[in-house]
Amino acid sequence: MKYFSTRNSSKKVSSIEAILKGLADDGGLYVPESIPEIDIDLLEGKNYKEIALEIFRLYLTDFTEVQLKNMIESAYSDQFDIENLVDVKKVDKQSILELFHGPTLAFKDMALSILPYFMVEAKKIKNVNEKTIILTATSGDTGKAALEGFKDVPGIEIIVFYPNEGVSDIQKLQMLTTEGVNTHVVAINGNFDDAQRSVKEAFSNLKLRELLKEDSFVFSSANSINIGRLIPQIVYYFYAYLEMIKQGSIYKGDSIKISVPTGNYGNILAAYYAKEMGLPVEKLICASNENNILTDFINTGQYDTNRDFVKTISPSMDILVSSNLERFIYQISNGNEQLIRDKMNDLKENKKFEIEKELVDTIKKIMIADYVTEEETLKTIKTCFEKTGYLLDPHTAVAYSVSENIGENILVVSTASPYKFGDSILKGLDINTDELDVEDINFKISQLCKKSIPKSLVNISEKEIKHHRVCGINEIEKTIKEILKVGSKND
Ligand SMILES: *Cc1c(COP(=O)(O)O)cnc(C)c1O
Q: How far is the CA of 395 from the centre of ligand 1 (A)?
A: 8
Mutation test residue for ligand 1: of 112, 141, 402, the one with most atoms within 8 Å of CB: 141
Ligand 1: residue of 96, 226, 317 to mutate (most ligand atoms within 8 A of CB) is: 317
Residue of 395, 396, 419, 424 with the most ligand 1 atoms within 8 Å of its CB, for mutation:
395
Candidate from 44-48, 84-88, 316-320 with smallest mean pLDDT: 316-320
108 lines ligand 1 (CB under 6 A): yes
262 lines ligand 1 (CB under 6 A): yes
For the chain, which domains are there?
87-107+228-457 (3.40.50.1100)
Quick one: angle between helices 438-449 and 169-176, nearest 10? 110
The pLDDT, as a whole number, for residue 96 is 98
Strands 8-14 and 30-32: unpaired
pLDDT tens-digit readout, 102-125: 999 999 999 999 999 999 999 999
Sign of CA dihedral 324, 330, 331, 335: negative
Q: Find the length of the chain.
A: 491
pLDDT digits (tens, 9 = 90+) for 82-100: 999 999 999 999 999 999 9
**Would residue 250 be called left, alpha or beta, if left means φ above 0 and alpha means ψ between -120 and 50 degrees?**
beta
Q: What is the DSSP letter of 490?
A: T
The mean predicted confidence, pLDDT, of the chain is: 95
Q: Count CB atoms within 10 A of the CB of residue 162.
A: 25
Mean pLDDT along residues 373-402:
98
DSSP, collapsed to helix, strand or coil, labels residue 304 as: strand
pLDDT number for residue 318? 92
Calculate how far, in angstroms, residue 275's C-alpha sits from the geometric centre of ligand 1: 19
Residues 351/193, Cβ–Cβ less than 8 Å:
no
- Residues 265-282: what's their mean pLDDT? 98
Give yes or no for residue 101 having a pLDDT over 70: yes
Q: What pTM did the predictor assign?
A: 0.95
How far is Cα 161 from Cα 201, in angstroms, rounded to an integer?
A: 13
Q: How far is it, in rounded angstroms, from Cα 385 to Cα 399?
A: 15
The tally of CA atoms less than 13 A away on the side-chain side of residue 20 is: 22
Q: What is the pLDDT of residue 491?
A: 46
* Rg for the chain, CA atoms, rounded: 21
Check if 444 is active-site: no
Ligand 1 nearest-atom number relative to CA 262 = 9
Q: Is there a contact between 442 and 415 (Cβ–Cβ < 8 Å)?
A: no
Is the CB of 317 within 6 Å of ligand 1?
Answer: yes
> b or e along 429-466 (b: 16 or more beta carbons within 10 Å of the residue's beta carbon)?
eeeeeeebebeebbebbbebbeeeebebbeebeebeee
Select which of 21, 49, 93, 108 is catalytic: 108
Which is nearest to 437 in space by CA: 459, 454, 467? Answer: 459
Query: What is the average per-residue pLDDT within 62-88?
Result: 96
* Mean pLDDT to the nearest integer, 415-438: 95
d(CA 37, CA 344): 29
279 and 244 Cβ atoms separated by less than 8 Å? no
pLDDT class of 161 with cuts at 50, 70, 90: very high
Name which residue sits closest to atom 2 of ligand 1, judged by CA.
316
* CA 267 to ligand 1: nearest atom: 7
What pLDDT was estimated at residue 140?
84
Helix-, strand-, coil-residue percentages of the chain, each rounded to 5: 45, 20, 35
* Nearest atom, ligand 1, residue 140 CA: 15
Whether 219 lines ligand 1, by a CB cut-off of 6 Å, is no
* 221 DSSP β-pair partners: 135
Residue 418 Cα to ligand 1 middle (Å) = 14
Cβ burial of 152 (10 Å; 0-12, 13-18, 19+) is exposed
Whole-angstrom distance, CA of residue 258 vs CA of residue 219: 34
- For ligand 1, atom 4, name the residue with the nearest CA: 263
Q: Report d(CA 137, CA 131) in Å as an integer.
A: 19
Q: β-pairing, 302-304 with 352-354?
A: antiparallel
Tens-digit pLDDT profile for residues 445-491: 999 999 999 999 999 999 999 999 999 999 999 999 999 999 765 44
Answer whether 264 contacts ligand 1 (Cβ < 6 A): yes
- What is the pLDDT at residue 408? 95
Distance CA(118)–CA(189), nearest Å, equals 32
Instruction: Describe the crossing of helices 115-125 and 141-150 by its angle, rounded to 10 degrees.
Output: 50
Strand 2-5 to strand 302-304: parallel, antiparallel, or no bridges (unpaired)?
unpaired
